Chains A and B, each alone.
Chain A
Amino acid sequence: MSTKRNFIDLQRHLKDRTRGAFSAAHTLLPYWHRVTHQWQLESAAEMIHSLFLINHTGDIFLEKHWKSVISRGVCDYFLEVKEKAVEPENVPPVLQTPHHYLISIYRDKLFFLSVIQTEVPPLFVIEFLHRVADTFQDYFGECSESIIKDNVVTVYELLEEMLDNGFPLATESNILKEMIKPPTILRSVVNTLTVLLFFPGSSNVGDKLPTGQLSNIPWRRAAVKYTNNEAYFDVIEEIDAILDKSGMTVFAEIQGVIEACTRLSGMPDLTLSFMNPRLLDDVSFHPCVRFKRWESERVLSFIPPDGNFTLMTYHVSSQNLVAIPVYVKQNISFFETGSCGRLDITIGPKQTMGKMVEGLMVTVHMPKAVLSVNLTASQGNYTYDLATKVLVWDIGKLNPQKPPNLRGTLSVQSGAPRPEENPALDIKLKIQQLAISGLKVNRLDMYGEKYKPFKGVKYMTKAGKFQVRT
């Protein structure tokens, strides 16, 4: 017997065999489609052929083809895999079908599924799909099925503009906004009522192209004008950590991001410098940042895009100790006899640099056997979702004098074996006005324009993937 084939393969194989008839039916449709579009075989490569938007129940609610039309049937392969996967996150992002490759992302409960016919770097497609989702988010404030359906024309125009013949054309939000105006609440109201009644000639977009002049800088639109010039920078740091049973740090690191919001007229050229740039170990930048100046002087020099953007992300060098703001004492146990278990979690402040810990929340994915919980929280309140077996304890602000505690009993399905594993705790928290790494912005200077902008910097620390093993 082959050493490679292990037990799991075998099981899968068996499963597949039982489903044989079912999947055979599915293969028929795309094949038929293939025959009718025989010319596609010799057609040259393009990167992204088609895009389907699918909601979490499996309905295809939008399709866009950049070349010939590919039948929806191709999505059946994907839907089949999706059905099998317990969680939507478990669907592999790249699937192979007899004639196409399917690359998908899962964002905001939606699948963005692209159809590929030839070799293309998978990350290229994935990154592009995320950019599409980001753009929707940027335009409509959220990226949900209903909002996309409501704005389907804008969405379609955006897709048309972002991809030409399967190759990305304009993906910078500033350029897109120059060509396709984002809907505003005011405008949509006006559109449906007033305009048609009183000004039947006008539409929601000017009759002519704004300028016909493209900005010299790909990420910034031309001729920006504000009465109040302001630039805000949020330094947000996330602590990623794994703590073991005894509270020891198995792994911890700090990832930071600087989110910027600039509303500045003209073509400002900004320079942002840090008190302690040496802390930054690994960085990635928005394309506007001049890399060479960073290399030589460790300052960020850039002409900012207009509006919100992510200026940089960074990783704090691993030599520095990571301060863990809270300690977690927990005890979750299941008894051998009797169908119950006990849970006791206490959270207290550890290294908070004298700041208030807010938005504290603990999430526990309970074993499937746990039927219900009966707990008391000394602070905040808890919910237990019976279907997903997720216990959420929303604490809020952490009181350093009286560490919040959650304790009580868990009732386990009778007859089921005692769960072997203890669930991990996911911690969420927020600390305002603190960058846990100690990173500090030194100064922000503006060149190229005469006015004096208002400048603001805000710090925040959050828990990223902060997990306590039990």
Chain B
Amino acid sequence: MTTMQKLLQLPVNAVNIVKTVQSQVQGQEEDKSPVLTPDGGQQTWYNALQPDELRHLRSGGSGGGFGGGGGGGGGGDQEERAVLEEGGGSFQNQPLRHDDLKEMLDSNKDSLKLEAMKRIVAMVARGKNASDLFPAVVKNVACKNIEVKKLVYVYLVRYAEEQQDLALLSISTFQRGLKDPNQLIRASALRVLSSIRVTIIVPIMMLAIKEAASDMSPYVRKTAAHAIPKLYSLDPEQKDQLIEVIEKLLADKTTLVAGSVVMAFEEVCPERIDLIHKNYRKLCNLLIDVEEWGQVVIINMLTRYARTQFLNPNINESLLEEGGEKTFYGSEEDEDEDDEDKDKKAEVATMAKRKPYVMDPDHRLLLRNTKPLLQSRNAAVVMAVAQLYFHLAPKAEVGVIAKALVRLLRSHSEVQYVVLQNVATMTIKRRGMFEPYLKSFYIRSTDPTQIKVLKLEVLTNLANETNISTILREFQTYIKSMDKDFVAATIQAIGRCATNIGEVRDTCLNGLVQLLSNRDELVVAESVVVIKKLLQMQPEKHSDIIKHMAKLIDNIQVPMARASILWLIGEYCEHVPKISPDVLRKMAKSFTNEEDIVKLQIINLAAKLYLTNSKQTKLLTQYVLNLAKYDQNYDIRDRARFIRQLIVPTEKSGALSKYAKKLFLALKPAPVLESPFKDRDHFQLGSLSHLLNAKAGGYQELPDWPEAAPDPSVRNVEVKESVFTLLERVTTLTSVPEWTKCSSREKRKEKKVEKPFYSDSEGESGPTESADSESDSANGSESVSGSEVSGSGSESEESEEGSESEEEEEEEDEEKDKKKKKKELKKKPVQESESEQSSEEEEEERKHERKSKPRKSDSETESGDEEESESESSQSESDESESEAEVKKKKKAAQSKPPAKPVKTDGKKEKKEMSLLDLDDFEPAPSPQVTPVNSFLSSSLVTDLEGLSLSDSVLSPATIAPSSALKSYELLHRITGEGLSVEYCFSRQPFSPDANMVAVQIQFTNNATSDTKNLHMEDVKLQSGMRVKEFPEIELLPAGETTTAVMGIDFCDSTQAANFQLCTHTRKFFVSIQPPVGELMRPIFLTENEFKKEQGQLMGMNEITERLTLDVKCRNEHTIVQRVTTAANLSRVPCGSDKECRFAGRTVTSSSLVLVTVATKEEGAAQLTVNCEKMVIGTMLVKDILQALTQ
């Protein structure tokens, strides 16, 4: 009875129950027990053990004909019997007999027990009642055999609620299990304990959960998180205590726990959004490593969180949304207006001078960390990310989800169904997103009807002027389908396209009229209904169609269609004055046989005709009204009476009859055919409520964006070097495995070269300073600027934390890096204070820097390696900006200096004034870009420094790794080349045999099964002046191999293609190489002054200027430089202003200068200037760069 002691926490009577029940089970003869005396609390128990059970309890011992020994031979025999019994068992009234099972459970052989349990579980699975076995089963809860135990658990969870008191017997076993050294046993004990829905054990559960929440095994902690909602549903009064546990588990750093605890949070206290603040960044960073189901829950929760904490990224657009929306369905002017709208928007946005929207770095963090999950194999995760982007991302970025959603359309049809519903909603708000994937929504005859209809919906939503002809052609095939429901839906879709897109209205109408001669009545009926709607828009033009339809009335039997035709004739009787009375005559004849809906329309028709053409139709109308008067349907009788009063003038008729004509023949507004998915996006996408278009129980509304962002500092956390468990290291997907680090190792070596630069300052700063800076960033309670700096600092640290998986020393390395960075950041205020004469101009300068900083960190690339280099470069950037500020100051001081050679003198002066230490700090700035300091360095030194630079390719194309960044073009496709595929790219290397030629690197891949021999070129056809240096013949290209060759082409500074034949030993292929204009030049190095001078000489006709709005992703300097240098082979010219990027080059053949300037302004506005002697090249280059910057 030692187990009982643990139960002492129970209320006294509960213990009594347990005791007595147990004694009953053991000594079954003892049928009178003290508890059986009626007593309020125990009544339920008494009921639960009604005579049925009691009798079985008693008979259990006596009916033991089947010994344990017989089990061996009679296995199959028993199985049969058990099945028979179950058949009888379903009659609830008959006494259940499971004597043999009880026998087996009582035996001391585990194999028998197991066999019995298996049969019992099989019964449970089939939904048969096995509750009478409860006492026999529950005894085995302490069975040593794990297999039996598991099955007992299964049984217990199922029946414990029904037999609460007996279930209490098992509690002690679980309590013992909670202390087991094996984590799996601890976990399963907690699972079962929390699954037994018995109110009396709530305190025990609470205790167990609390203990498990601090268990050392993450698996047990996960189970604890699972247990929380169970306990909450059992006893909501425990909420406060449970929230404490949730808070504790939310702080857990293991990915195993994260998903489960957020689930518990969502169910117990979704309103306590404040609990998330401190864990927000951690959750974002852990997200990718959480198991799939947890990811879904976390993403959904974070969506809601972000809606309460951040500002609407589309705030500027949303103000103008109404204007945009109107044109959405607008027809003809759609395209033009869209453009205008954009312009207008931009104008308004600038004019309004609203506070420029800067995305909270935490908001960005969420978007960045969820994006990779679009690649998840789990459709639910992809959908969760998609809805997050739809609800939270800036408009320009939402597009990324389209591809992933289209991928899901390949999945099971159930997944397709849900995804299509969501896509349908999205296509209404953001049509452009899915336009490229139009064909993925084409319908196959094998699709289930519901999928067909949804795809049709999406296709209709996607229809616009440009693609409508393709879509209508598709629709034509659908109309021939065997699935008539689908055909009807198609006809409606055509109707919607016709109303939305004016150009095709007539085409659609004609098509639908043709359908009127279809043999299928359903098709005809549906067409009539749709035609009616379309005609309503412009009836004047289509009186012949109305006539045609009037003829149809003889044949069409579908009531809805007949009714529609009659309505049309009545409505537009003036357009068909001759036919309409005749139709009425026919209808009057068949009136009594018509359906109600048709009868009503006949009355309508009669009334309208009476008003317009009473001479011919007076009698007919009266006849119809008389018939209607005695109709069986009261609606029809009412209508007839009402209309008679209105139209037939009598003395009694009131004032209304004067207006009868106005009443009946008023101009009716054309119907708006709109998507059933319109406005469905007020439900959170991907939710059940969205799917049903009705609020499901427990649905939490997506909150509206706040007017002003709540304090972002609540998310700051004490940054400490988190000790990651081994588990995290192995599983972290973000971690880069050891062997791949070699490259970064090399980089590190390179860094070593720089070390001396930093070492001084590091020695000087010492550990105290870095500690200071750390606390700074943690507090975040400095001035505005201070907190911002620290904010971004800690963010980057967080993300590093996520990707950390290295050995100690590397961590240390990183640590140092971080410290360095910190110091750099910290330095700034120090220097500020140094400079005594801080003018306003400076102030502005700095503000701008700060503003641009978060943006820079926004565009941080994902990979760990790059991140490193990124941080390096941003560090250097901060260096530069500082030095720049420094220079400005100096300039201020020495304003009287002649402007002729300001840079040089400045530089010198700087050198004099700066302490050695400062110099150390500044000079190693890895990129020579901005600093005027560099302009007096020889160009060779610049290239040297570039070699040191870790930030790849920021500046000169020379450092661009030729293979990775170069765009390659297809010369010969694998299929046309019969297995030989050829690609070429412009390697941007000087072509050594002839400097006037552009080097073209050609890559041959032999995909065929046989070798290719004697690859060479022949029959070169060129425009005059062009020359080609052929590549050396490739003797043999074995199957499956790849080889490259280089050829040179002198394009004569034109983009004319070079045509030639590519020959193998068997075949010849005609191919051509056409260069983009950007490849016709080579970079040259210019100083700022030279640049300006040259630019001054290339004005007027030689200068082309274009305004543009930069792509959102392309608003920082780094990307601008990257995009321009990718588009054209130019080199960066150092420049004093960070608002301008300059590039220079010379054309390859004629060595004409090409100068490019990109000047950026507020809100992504920018101006592109190209100066070039060769105007054609200039114009083409402008076009190319423009595209590169705005794509």
Query: Nearest residue in A to B525 (C-beta to C-beta)?
Result: A7
Residues of B84-129 whose CB lies within 8 A of A: 109-112, 114, 118, 121-122, 124-127
Q: Which residues of chain A come closer than 8 Å to B692, judged between CB atoms?
A: 94, 96, 101
A93 interfacial contact with B, CB 8 Å: yes
Residues of A164-192 whose CB lies within 8 A of B: 164-165, 167-169, 171, 179, 192
Q: How far is the CB of A77 from chain B (nearest CB, A)?
A: 14
A396 interfacial contact with B, CB 8 Å: no
Determine if B111 and A195 form an interchain contact, defined as CB atoms under 8 angstroms apart.
yes
Q: Which residues of chain A come closer than 8 Å to B413, judged between CB atoms?
A: 89, 93, 106
A20 interfacial contact with B, CB 8 Å: no
Determine if A203 and B145 form an interchain contact, defined as CB atoms under 8 angstroms apart.
yes
Q: Which residues of chain B come closer than 8 Å to A467, judged between CB atoms?
A: 444-446
B485 interfacial contact with A, CB 8 Å: yes
| C-alpha spacing A390/B413, complex, angstroms | 21
| C-alpha spacing A263/B372, complex, angstroms | 28
Q: How far is the CB of A170 from chain B (nearest CB, A)?
A: 9
Determine if B730 and A216 form an interchain contact, defined as CB atoms under 8 angstroms apart.
yes
Determine if A420 and B480 form an interchain contact, defined as CB atoms under 8 angstroms apart.
yes
Query: Nearest residue in B to A303 (C-beta to C-beta)?
Result: B730
Q: How far is the CB of B694 from chain A (nearest CB, A)?
A: 8
Determine if A207 and B293 form an interchain contact, defined as CB atoms under 8 angstroms apart.
no
Interface membership of chain A positions 385-420, coded 1 if the CB is closer than 8 angstroms to chain B and 0 otherwise: 000000000000000000000000000000001001
Determine if A421 and B481 form an interchain contact, defined as CB atoms under 8 angstroms apart.
yes
Q: Which residues of chain B come closer than 8 Å to A155, judged between CB atoms?
A: 125
CB-contact partner of B380 in A1, A44, A121, A417, under 8 A: A121
| C-alpha spacing A288/B195, complex, angstroms | 32
Determine if B375 and A465 form an interchain contact, defined as CB atoms under 8 angstroms apart.
no
**Contacts A46-B229, A203-B147, A214-B183; is A8 near B485 (CB within 8 Å)?**
yes
Interface membership of chain A positions 228-255, coded 1 if the CB is closer than 8 angstroms to chain B and 0 otherwise: 0000000000001010100000110101
Determine if B154 and A160 form an interchain contact, defined as CB atoms under 8 angstroms apart.
yes
Determine if A124 and B380 form an interchain contact, defined as CB atoms under 8 angstroms apart.
yes
Determine if A205 and B147 form an interchain contact, defined as CB atoms under 8 angstroms apart.
yes
| C-alpha spacing A234/B442, complex, angstroms | 29
Determine if B737 and A122 form an interchain contact, defined as CB atoms under 8 angstroms apart.
no
Interface membership of chain A positions 335-360, coded 1 if the CB is closer than 8 angstroms to chain B and 0 otherwise: 00000000000000001011000000
B340 interfacial contact with A, CB 8 Å: no
| C-alpha spacing A297/B743, complex, angstroms | 12
Determine if B415 and A127 form an interchain contact, defined as CB atoms under 8 angstroms apart.
yes
Determine if A128 and B110 form an interchain contact, defined as CB atoms under 8 angstroms apart.
no
Most buried by B among A7, A61, A421: A7
| C-alpha spacing A132/B1008, complex, angstroms | 42
A202 interfacial contact with B, CB 8 Å: yes
Determine if B418 and A126 form an interchain contact, defined as CB atoms under 8 angstroms apart.
yes
Which stretch in B681-689, B1016-1024, B1048-1056 binds the other chain? B681-689
Which stretch in A26-34, A64-72, A138-146 binds the other chain? A64-72
Interface membership of chain A positions 148-164, coded 1 if the CB is closer than 8 angstroms to chain B and 0 otherwise: 00001101110010001
| C-alpha spacing A210/B622, complex, angstroms | 92
Determine if A167 and B260 form an interchain contact, defined as CB atoms under 8 angstroms apart.
yes
Q: How far is the CB of B183 from chain A (nearest CB, A)?
A: 6
Q: Which residues of chain B come closer than 8 Å to A8, judged between CB atoms?
A: 485, 488, 526
Q: Which residues of chain B come closer than 8 Å to A293, judged between CB atoms?
A: 736, 740, 863
The tally of residues in A whose CB lies under 8 Å from a CB in B reads 132
Determine if B981 and A126 form an interchain contact, defined as CB atoms under 8 angstroms apart.
no
Determine if A165 and B185 form an interchain contact, defined as CB atoms under 8 angstroms apart.
no
Determine if A365 and B445 form an interchain contact, defined as CB atoms under 8 angstroms apart.
yes
Interface membership of chain A positions 315-338, coded 1 if the CB is closer than 8 angstroms to chain B and 0 otherwise: 100001101000000000000000
Determine if B114 and A156 form an interchain contact, defined as CB atoms under 8 angstroms apart.
no
Q: Which residues of chain B come closer than 8 Å to A72, judged between CB atoms?
A: 127
Q: Which residues of chain A come closer than 8 Å to B736, judged between CB atoms?
A: 290, 292-293
Q: Which residues of chain A come closer than 8 Å to B482, judged between CB atoms?
A: 365, 367-368, 421, 423
Query: Nearest residue in B to A3 (C-beta to C-beta)?
Result: B671
Q: Which residues of chain B come closer than 8 Å to A283, judged between CB atoms?
A: 375
| C-alpha spacing A308/B378, complex, angstroms | 17
| C-alpha spacing A108/B156, complex, angstroms | 32
A117 interfacial contact with B, CB 8 Å: yes
| C-alpha spacing A275/B689, complex, angstroms | 46
CB-contact partner of B379 in A62, A123, A240, A296, under 8 A: A123
Determine if A351 and B863 form an interchain contact, defined as CB atoms under 8 angstroms apart.
no
**Contacts A120-B688, A351-B975; is A214 near B219 (CB within 8 Å)?**
yes
**Contacts A121-B296, A207-B146; is A116 near B688 (CB within 8 Å)?**
yes
| C-alpha spacing A43/B697, complex, angstroms | 12
**Contacts A62-B125, A296-B863; is A119 near B525 (CB within 8 Å)?**
no
**Contacts A119-B689, A121-B687, A167-B260; is A291 near B125 (CB within 8 Å)?**
no
Which stretch in B33-41, B404-412, B460-468, B992-1000 binds the other chain? B404-412
CB-contact partner of A7 in B382, B419, B529, B1007, under 8 A: B529
| C-alpha spacing A119/B730, complex, angstroms | 35
Determine if B418 and A93 form an interchain contact, defined as CB atoms under 8 angstroms apart.
yes
Q: Which residues of chain A come closer than 8 Å to B480, judged between CB atoms?
A: 420-422
Q: Which residues of chain A come closer than 8 Å to B197, judged between CB atoms?
A: 67-68
| C-alpha spacing A438/B379, complex, angstroms | 27
Determine if B267 and A45 form an interchain contact, defined as CB atoms under 8 angstroms apart.
yes
Q: Which residues of chain B come closer than 8 Å to A65, judged between CB atoms?
A: 158
Residues of A192-235 whose CB lies within 8 A of B: 192, 195-197, 200-209, 212-214, 216-218
| C-alpha spacing A220/B137, complex, angstroms | 35
B696 interfacial contact with A, CB 8 Å: yes
| C-alpha spacing A244/B700, complex, angstroms | 47
Q: How far is the CB of B977 from chain A (nearest CB, A)?
A: 11
Q: Which residues of chain B come closer than 8 Å to A301, judged between CB atoms?
A: 737, 740
Query: Nearest residue in A to B533 (C-beta to C-beta)?
Result: A3
Q: How far is the CB of A221 from chain B (nearest CB, A)?
A: 13
A63 interfacial contact with B, CB 8 Å: yes
Q: How far is the CB of B1019 from chain A (nearest CB, A)?
A: 26
| C-alpha spacing A217/B404, complex, angstroms | 26
**Contacts A119-B698, A156-B154, A292-B862; is A7 near B558 (CB within 8 Å)?**
yes
| C-alpha spacing A7/B450, complex, angstroms | 18
A92 interfacial contact with B, CB 8 Å: yes
A22 interfacial contact with B, CB 8 Å: no
Q: Which residues of chain A come closer than 8 Å to B157, judged between CB atoms?
A: 160
Determine if A157 and B689 form an interchain contact, defined as CB atoms under 8 angstroms apart.
no
| C-alpha spacing A400/B734, complex, angstroms | 50
Query: Nearest residue in A to B726 (C-beta to C-beta)?
Result: A216
B233 interfacial contact with A, CB 8 Å: yes
Q: Which residues of chain A come closer than 8 Å to B410, judged between CB atoms?
A: 240, 255, 313
Interface membership of chain B positions 699-711, coded 1 if the CB is closer than 8 angstroms to chain A and 0 otherwise: 1100000000000
Residues of A259-296 whose CB lies within 8 A of B: 267, 269, 275-276, 281-287, 289-293, 295-296
Q: How far is the CB of A160 from chain B (nearest CB, A)?
A: 5
| C-alpha spacing A342/B635, complex, angstroms | 53
Determine if B444 and A290 form an interchain contact, defined as CB atoms under 8 angstroms apart.
no
Determine if A201 and B110 form an interchain contact, defined as CB atoms under 8 angstroms apart.
yes
> Would you mind naming 13 contact pairs between A and B with Cβ atoms under 8 Å apart?
A3-B533, A46-B267, A92-B450, A122-B686, A122-B687, A152-B121, A156-B125, A167-B263, A213-B183, A276-B1005, A284-B382, A301-B737, A422-B480
Q: Footprint of B on A, CB under 8 Å?
A: 1, 3, 6-8, 10, 42-46, 60-65, 67-69, 72, 87, 89-90, 92-94, 96, 101, 104-107, 116-124, 126-128, 130, 152-153, 155-157, 160, 164-165, 167-169, 171, 179, 192, 195-197, 200-209, 212-214, 216-218, 240, 242, 244, 250-251, 253, 255, 267, 269, 275-276, 281-287, 289-293, 295-297, 301, 303, 310, 313, 315, 320-321, 323, 351, 353-354, 365, 367-368, 417, 420-424, 426, 438, 440, 447, 465, 467, 469
> What 17 new A-B contacts, CB under 8 Å, besides A293-B740, A315-B403?
A44-B267, A45-B267, A106-B413, A121-B384, A124-B296, A126-B379, A157-B151, A165-B194, A169-B226, A171-B292, A205-B147, A244-B477, A291-B733, A313-B407, A320-B973, A323-B975, A438-B981
Q: Which 7 A-B pairs give the minimum distances between C-beta atoms?
A: A118-B698, A296-B863, A212-B182, A93-B414, A44-B233, A119-B699, A7-B560
